[in-house]
């Protein structure tokens, strides 16, 4: 039996497999995702072409297809037009058949035309990478066999499953189904775990949906994004330039009233504002559940962050019953809707927005609801 050029101990094969698949993950998160899809950083031609070659060699993925599908995911997130939403396709299908959903959408010419702009279209892309997508993974199979013999075929099979399961399945599936939410964008995105190592930082999926064009996916002190670590190292040696990161929230506790900087900060950090407001609603639910019977408060609290119109009909009716039963909860939800209009009124002048926010804060602090008063005082301290 042919054993290849190298006869490694078992841990050597494991190390080789993890190293190869990790480079592929890094290519996906840095090149395809942060660089090509969102322009969060600029790459020197050397790493840019290396990543493009590596993805052709190890996955057969085409830059334009991946970029277009991902951009459409953000544009149509959690709608029937989302290429891979577990809210519509079901978690089982996205988790186990995410690669099939990707291939199905890659054949949609309208998706490629509308969302694939700005991707590489040079001679090698047209004549090699896009034209012979299966040649790269074929060469990798031959290389693995020559190096390690028949066990190299097993390694190749693992490499072929790595991206379809972890990236297409886990991130697109679990990342919109299970985990924790630091921010509250109008989708179901979640951070799977706070340490983004295995999938290059993509585990911090909720952070990404809150600040789509940020090159850094970690946001809290306890979160780690290994992809960002690689980007910083590349930046130090002149191979990358970061163009955007998520803005940091600044609080000025001395502020007595809202000003233009307050409004700007609230708009920029709107997903964090909604996350903080969800905690207000959670406190109200906890207090109201002691006095009001006949409401399934535990079920209600699981979907506090979801807009009423986006809820399934049964859950929408359940929330309506709760709001009708609790004037305090109804007021808190109504004021949340008012607050959201602040960043939806693009035609309003800056002075009008300052006046509207100040008026909202006054009414919140006069509401007699302690949690709402504390939230309003913190909101006034927002600054740029």
pLDDT tens string 215-225: 999 999 999 99
Give 243-252 pLDDT, tens digit per residue. 999 998 899 9
What global pTM score does this model have?
0.87
Give 131-185 pLDDT, tens digit per residue. 999 999 999 999 999 999 999 999 999 999 988 888 888 999 999 999 999 998 8
**Contact (Cβ atoms closer than 8 angstroms) between residue 373 and residue 367:** yes
Domain boundaries, the chain: 10-242, 251-383
Q: In this model, does residue 69 exceed pLDDT 70? A: yes
User: What was the pLDDT predicted at 98?
Assistant: 87
User: What was the pLDDT predicted at 205?
Assistant: 97
- Kindly give the residue spans of alpha helices, DSSP state H, lying in the chain: 10-26, 45-58, 63-75, 86-89, 91-106, 109-115, 123-124, 133-148, 150-163, 172-173, 205-210, 226-236, 260-268, 270-288, 297-302, 313-325, 327-340, 350-365, 370-380
Q: In this model, does residue 192 exceed pLDDT 70? A: yes
Nearest CA to 342 out of 243, 251, 244, 265 is that of 265
The two structure tokens encoding residue 105: 């959408």
The Cα 87–Cα 103 span in angstroms is 19
The two structure tokens encoding residue 195: 């340490």
User: What was the pLDDT predicted at 41?
Assistant: 98
User: What was the pLDDT predicted at 303?
Assistant: 66
pLDDT above 90 covers a percentage of the chain that reads 70
The Cα 84–Cα 100 span in angstroms is 10
User: What was the pLDDT predicted at 301?
Assistant: 67
Give the model's confidence band at 20: pLDDT under 50 very low, under 70 low, under 90 confident, else very high.
Answer: very high
Give 97-136 pLDDT, tens digit per residue. 888 999 999 999 999 999 999 999 999 999 999 999 999 9
Distance separating the N- and C-terminal Cα atoms of the chain? 67
Give 259-318 pLDDT, tens digit per residue. 999 999 999 999 999 989 988 988 888 888 877 777 777 767 666 666 666 667 777 787
- Tokens 């028949």 locate to 150
Give the model's confidence band at 346: pLDDT under 50 very low, under 70 low, under 90 confident, else very high.
Answer: low
Nearest CA to 116 out of 105, 132, 129, 100 is that of 105
The Cα 326–Cα 356 span in angstroms is 26
Report the pLDDT averaged over residues 339-360: 87
Q: How many CB atoms lie within 10 A of CB 5?
A: 10
User: What was the pLDDT predicted at 305?
Assistant: 66
User: What was the pLDDT predicted at 282?
Assistant: 86
Q: In this model, does residue 44 exceed pLDDT 90? A: yes
User: What was the pLDDT predicted at 59?
Assistant: 95
**Contact (Cβ atoms closer than 8 angstroms) between residue 277 and residue 300:** no
Please, what is the average pLDDT of the chain? 91
**Contact (Cβ atoms closer than 8 angstroms) between residue 8 and residue 16:** yes
The CA distances from residue 127 to 121, 122, 123, 132, in Å, are: 10, 9, 6, 8
User: What was the pLDDT predicted at 289?
Assistant: 80
pLDDT above 70 covers a percentage of the chain that reads 96
């Amino acid at each position: 039996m042919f054993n290849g050029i190298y006869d490694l101990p078992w841990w050597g094969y494991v190390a080789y497999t993890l190293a190869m698949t990790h480079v592929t993950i890094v290519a996906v998160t840095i090149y395809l995702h942060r660089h090509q899809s969102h322009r969060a950083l600029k790459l020197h031609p050397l790493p840019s072409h290396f990543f493009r070659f590596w993805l052709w060699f190890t996955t057969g993925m085409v830059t334009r297809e991946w970029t277009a599908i991902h951009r459409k995911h953000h544009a149509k997130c959690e709608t029937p037009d989302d290429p891979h939403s577990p809210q519509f396709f079901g978690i089982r299908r996205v988790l186990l058949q995410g690669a099939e959903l990707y291939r199905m959408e890659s054949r949609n010419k309208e998706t490629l035309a509308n969302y694939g702009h700005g991707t590489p279209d040079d001679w090698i892309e047209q004549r090699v990478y896009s034209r012979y997508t299966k040649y790269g993974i074929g060469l990798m199979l031959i290389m693995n066999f020559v190096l390690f013999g028949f066990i190299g075929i097993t390694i190749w099979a693992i490499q072929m499953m790595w991206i379809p399961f972890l990236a297409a399945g886990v991130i697109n599936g679990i990342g919109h189904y299970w985990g924790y939410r630091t921010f509250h964008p109008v989708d179901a995105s979640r951070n799977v775990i706070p340490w983004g190592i295995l999938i290059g930082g993509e585990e911090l999926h909720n952070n990404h949906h809150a600040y789509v064009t940020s090159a850094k996916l970690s946001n809290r002190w306890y979160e780690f994004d290994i992809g960002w670590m690689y980007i910083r190292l590349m930046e130090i040696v002149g191979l990358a330039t970061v163009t955007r990161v998520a803005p940091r929230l600044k609080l000025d506790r001395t502020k007595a009233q809202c000003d233009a900087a307050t409004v700007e900060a609230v708009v920029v950090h709107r997903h964090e504002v909604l996350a903080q407001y969800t905690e207000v609603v959670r406190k109200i639910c906890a207090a109201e559940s002691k006095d009001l019977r006949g409401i399934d408060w535990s079920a209600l609290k699981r979907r506090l962050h979801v807009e009423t119109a986006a809820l399934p009909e049964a859950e929408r009716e359940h929330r309506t019953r709760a709001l009708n039963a609790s004037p305090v909860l109804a007021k808190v939800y109504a004021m949340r809707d008012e607050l959201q209009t602040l960043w939806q009124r693009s035609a309003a002048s800056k002075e009008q927005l300052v006046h509207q926010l100040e008026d909202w804060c006054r009414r919140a602090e006069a509401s007699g609801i302690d949690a709402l008063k504390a939230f309003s005082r913190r909101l006034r301290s927002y600054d740029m």
